Amino acid sequence: MPRELDFLGMYVPTLLPIFLGAAGLQWLLDSLLGRLGLFNRIWHPALFRLSLFVCLFGGAALLVYR
Protein backbone atom coordinates (compact mmCIF):
# COMPACT_ATOMS: atom_id res chain seq x y z
CA MET A 1 0.00 0.00 0.00
CA PRO A 2 1.45 3.39 -0.91
CA ARG A 3 2.19 5.87 1.84
CA GLU A 4 0.29 8.66 0.05
CA LEU A 5 -2.79 8.68 -2.17
CA ASP A 6 -3.43 11.15 -4.98
CA PHE A 7 -6.80 12.77 -4.30
CA LEU A 8 -7.80 15.55 -6.72
CA GLY A 9 -4.16 16.48 -7.27
CA MET A 10 -3.31 16.52 -3.56
CA TYR A 11 -1.34 13.89 -1.74
CA VAL A 12 -3.07 12.67 1.40
CA PRO A 13 -1.71 10.10 3.85
CA THR A 14 -3.13 6.62 3.47
CA LEU A 15 -4.22 6.65 7.10
CA LEU A 16 -6.61 9.57 6.47
CA PRO A 17 -9.27 7.51 4.60
CA ILE A 18 -8.81 4.74 7.16
CA PHE A 19 -9.35 7.28 9.96
CA LEU A 20 -12.50 8.64 8.30
CA GLY A 21 -13.85 5.14 7.71
CA ALA A 22 -13.19 4.14 11.32
CA ALA A 23 -14.86 7.34 12.52
CA GLY A 24 -17.94 6.61 10.40
CA LEU A 25 -18.12 3.02 11.58
CA GLN A 26 -17.68 4.13 15.18
CA TRP A 27 -20.50 6.64 14.77
CA LEU A 28 -22.80 3.90 13.46
CA LEU A 29 -21.86 1.50 16.25
CA ASP A 30 -22.22 4.25 18.83
CA SER A 31 -25.75 5.06 17.71
CA LEU A 32 -26.69 1.37 17.59
CA LEU A 33 -25.29 0.68 21.06
CA GLY A 34 -27.02 3.79 22.38
CA ARG A 35 -30.38 2.62 21.07
CA LEU A 36 -29.85 -0.77 22.66
CA GLY A 37 -29.22 0.89 26.01
CA LEU A 38 -25.73 -0.51 26.47
CA PHE A 39 -24.26 2.77 27.70
CA ASN A 40 -26.44 2.59 30.83
CA ARG A 41 -24.52 -0.53 31.86
CA ILE A 42 -21.02 0.78 31.11
CA TRP A 43 -19.06 2.46 33.89
CA HIS A 44 -17.41 5.16 31.75
CA PRO A 45 -19.15 5.62 28.35
CA ALA A 46 -16.67 8.20 27.02
CA LEU A 47 -13.74 5.88 27.71
CA PHE A 48 -15.62 3.02 26.05
CA ARG A 49 -16.26 5.17 22.96
CA LEU A 50 -12.61 6.14 22.73
CA SER A 51 -11.39 2.57 23.12
CA LEU A 52 -13.88 1.39 20.51
CA PHE A 53 -12.53 3.94 18.03
CA VAL A 54 -8.91 3.02 18.81
CA CYS A 55 -9.67 -0.66 18.25
CA LEU A 56 -11.45 0.02 14.94
CA PHE A 57 -8.76 2.37 13.64
CA GLY A 58 -5.88 0.18 14.78
CA GLY A 59 -7.43 -2.96 13.34
CA ALA A 60 -8.10 -1.34 9.98
CA ALA A 61 -4.58 0.12 9.85
CA LEU A 62 -3.07 -3.27 10.64
CA LEU A 63 -5.08 -4.86 7.83
CA VAL A 64 -3.70 -2.33 5.36
CA TYR A 65 -0.09 -2.26 6.57
CA ARG A 66 0.64 -5.97 6.98
**Per-residue model confidence (pLDDT) at position 5:** 81
Q: Is 22 exposed, middle or buried (0-12, 13-18, 19+ CB in 10 A)?
A: buried
**Per-residue model confidence (pLDDT) at position 7:** 84
Reduce the DSSP state of residue 9 to 3 states and report it: coil
- The whole-number mean pLDDT for each consecutive block of 10 residues of the chain, a chain of 66 residues, reads 80 91 97 94 94 96 85
DSSP string, 16-60: HHHHHHHHHHHHHHHHHHHHTTGGGT-S-HHHHHHHHHHHHHHHH
For the chain, give every domain's residue range.
31-66
**Per-residue model confidence (pLDDT) at position 34:** 94
- Whole-prediction pTM: 0.84
Cα separation, 27 vs 62, whole angstroms: 20
What single-letter amino acid sits at 26?
Q
**Per-residue model confidence (pLDDT) at position 2:** 67
